[in-house]
Chains A and B, each alone.
Chain A
Amino acid sequence: MAAKAVKTGADQKKIRLRNQIIVIGIIVAIYVIANFLTGGKVFRPNNIRTILTQVTYPLMVGLGLMFIFTTGMIDLSVGAQVILAANVGAIAVQIYGLGYPGLIIGTVVTLVITELLCTSCSLFLKIPSWVAGLGCALVFEALGMILVGAYSETLGTSIVYLEKCDGFGSFLVIFIIAVVVAVIAYFIFNRTQFGYNLRAIGGGGEVAEAMGINRKKTIIMAAIIGAVIIAIGGITQLSYTGRFTPTSGMGSLSGIFKSLAVVLISGSFSRIFNDVIGCVVGAFIVAGLFNVLTLLGVPSGTGQDICLGVVVMLCGILSALHYKGVQK
Chain B
Amino acid sequence: MAEEMLRIEGVSKSFGPTKANRDVNLILNKGTVLGLAGENGSGKSTLASMVCGMLKKDSGKFYKNGQVYNPFSPADAAKHGVAMVVQELGVIGNLSGVVNMFLGKMDKYKKGPLVDLAAMNRDAESVFEKWGLPKVPLDVAAGTLSIEQRKIMELARALITDPDFLVLDEISQALSQDNREVLYAFIKKFISLGRTILMVTHDLEEMVEICDEIAVLRDGVIVESKAAEKYSMNELKRLMIGREVSGDYYRDDWEESYQKEVILSVKNLNVPGKCENISFDLHKGEILAICGLSDAGIHEVGSAIFGLEEGRRGKVTAGSGHKEIQKPGDIIKTRGAYLSKDRDANGLMLDASIGDNLILPSARDLSGKGAFLSPVKARKLAQRASEAFEIKSTGLRHIVRRLSGGNKQKVNLSRWLIKDLDYIILDCPTRGVDIGVKAYIYSVLKKAKADGLGIIMISDELPEAMGMSDRILVMKNHQFAAMLSRNTDFTEDKIMEVML
Enumerate chain A interface residues (CB-CB to B < 8 A): 1-10, 12, 187-188, 191-193, 196-197, 199-200, 202-204, 207-208, 210-213, 322-324, 326-328
Contacts A192-B115, A212-B78: A207 and B135 contacting too (C-beta < 8 A)? no
Chain B, range 125-158, C-beta contacts under 8 Å to A:
134-141, 143-149, 152
Among candidates A188, A197, A211, A322, residue contacting B310 with C-beta atoms closer than 8 Å: A322
Among candidates A10, A213, A322, residue contacting B104 with C-beta atoms closer than 8 Å: A213
Which residues of A lie under 8 Å from residue B478 when comparing CB positions?
4-5
Which residues of A lie under 8 Å from residue B54 when comparing CB positions?
210
Q: B320 at the A/B interface (Cβ < 8 Å)?
A: no
A210 touches B308 (CB 8 A): no
Which residues of B lie under 8 Å from residue A211 when comparing CB positions?
74-75, 90, 103-104
User: A9 to B184, alpha carbons, bound, how many Å?
Assistant: 29
A1 touches B310 (CB 8 A): no
Which residues of A lie under 8 Å from residue B300 when comparing CB positions?
5, 328
A12 touches B140 (CB 8 A): yes
B295 touches A1 (CB 8 A): yes
Among candidates B94, B113, B136, B178, residue contacting A199 with C-beta atoms closer than 8 Å: B94
21 contacts between A and B (CB under 8 A): A1-B178, A3-B135, A4-B273, A4-B295, A5-B478, A7-B144, A8-B137, A8-B140, A191-B115, A196-B106, A200-B92, A200-B95, A203-B93, A204-B93, A210-B74, A210-B90, A211-B90, A213-B104, A326-B346, A327-B342, A328-B145
A192 touches B114 (CB 8 A): yes
User: A184 to B315, alpha carbons, bound, how many Å?
Assistant: 51
Closest A residue by C-beta to B97 = A9
A207 touches B274 (CB 8 A): no
Which residues of A lie under 8 Å from residue B140 when comparing CB positions?
6-9, 12
Enumerate chain B interface residues (CB-CB to A < 8 A): 54, 73-75, 78, 86, 90-96, 99, 103-107, 109-110, 113-115, 117, 134-141, 143-149, 152, 178-179, 273-274, 294-295, 297, 299-300, 303, 308-310, 342, 345-346, 478
Among candidates B92, B146, B342, residue contacting A6 with C-beta atoms closer than 8 Å: B146
Q: Which 8 A-B pairs have the closest CB atoms?
A: A9-B139, A212-B75, A212-B104, A1-B134, A203-B92, A211-B104, A203-B94, A193-B106
B99 touches A196 (CB 8 A): yes
User: A196 to B142, alpha carbons, bound, how many Å?
Assistant: 14
User: A24 to B91, alpha carbons, bound, how many Å?
Assistant: 32
User: A4 to B309, alpha carbons, bound, how many Å?
Assistant: 15
User: A130 to B114, alpha carbons, bound, how many Å?
Assistant: 32
- The smallest beta-carbon distance between A21 and chain B, in angstroms, is 20
Contacts A3-B137, A212-B105, A213-B103: A324 and B309 contacting too (C-beta < 8 A)? yes
- The smallest beta-carbon distance between B437 and chain A, in angstroms, is 24
A210 touches B113 (CB 8 A): no
- The smallest beta-carbon distance between B271 and chain A, in angstroms, is 9
User: A1 to B179, alpha carbons, bound, how many Å?
Assistant: 8
User: A5 to B145, alpha carbons, bound, how many Å?
Assistant: 8
Chain B CB count within 10 A is highest, among A3, A7, A8, A211, for A211
B92 touches A207 (CB 8 A): yes
Closest A residue by C-beta to B309 = A324
User: A202 to B93, alpha carbons, bound, how many Å?
Assistant: 10
B74 touches A2 (CB 8 A): no
Which residues of B lie under 8 Å from residue A200 when comparing CB positions?
92, 95, 99, 103
Contacts A12-B140, A213-B104: A328 and B93 contacting too (C-beta < 8 A)? no
Which residues of B lie under 8 Å from residue A12 when comparing CB positions?
140-141, 144
Which residues of A lie under 8 Å from residue B115 when comparing CB positions?
191-193, 196
User: A322 to B92, alpha carbons, bound, how many Å?
Assistant: 23
Which residues of A lie under 8 Å from residue B145 when comparing CB positions?
6, 328
- The smallest beta-carbon distance between B247 and chain A, in angstroms, is 34
Closest B residue by C-beta to A322 = B310
B310 touches A324 (CB 8 A): yes
Among candidates A3, A192, A203, A207, residue contacting B149 with C-beta atoms closer than 8 Å: A3
User: A221 to B25, alpha carbons, bound, how many Å?
Assistant: 42
B92 touches A199 (CB 8 A): yes
- The smallest beta-carbon distance between B320 and chain A, in angstroms, is 29
User: A12 to B90, alpha carbons, bound, how many Å?
Assistant: 23
- The smallest beta-carbon distance between A328 and chain B, in angstroms, is 5
A5 touches B146 (CB 8 A): yes
Closest A residue by C-beta to B147 = A328
Closest B residue by C-beta to A325 = B308
User: A230 to B458, alpha carbons, bound, how many Å?
Assistant: 52
A6 touches B149 (CB 8 A): yes
Which residues of A lie under 8 Å from residue B346 when comparing CB positions?
326-327
Chain A CB count within 10 A is highest, among B92, B137, B300, for B92
Which residues of A lie under 8 Å from residue B96 when comparing CB positions?
9
User: A263 to B147, alpha carbons, bound, how many Å?
Assistant: 31
User: A191 to B54, alpha carbons, bound, how many Å?
Assistant: 28
B106 touches A1 (CB 8 A): no
A8 touches B114 (CB 8 A): no
B86 touches A210 (CB 8 A): yes
- The smallest beta-carbon distance between A210 and chain B, in angstroms, is 6
Closest A residue by C-beta to B111 = A191
Which residues of B lie under 8 Å from residue A7 when comparing CB positions?
140, 144
Chain B CB count within 10 A is highest, among A6, A191, A199, for A6
B136 touches A326 (CB 8 A): no
- The smallest beta-carbon distance between B423 and chain A, in angstroms, is 20
Among candidates A1, A207, A326, residue contacting B90 with C-beta atoms closer than 8 Å: A207
A6 touches B144 (CB 8 A): yes
Which residues of A lie under 8 Å from residue B104 when comparing CB positions?
197, 208, 211-213
Which residues of A lie under 8 Å from residue B143 when comparing CB positions?
327
Which residues of A lie under 8 Å from residue B148 when comparing CB positions?
1
Which residues of B lie under 8 Å from residue A5 when comparing CB positions?
146, 273-274, 295, 297, 300, 478
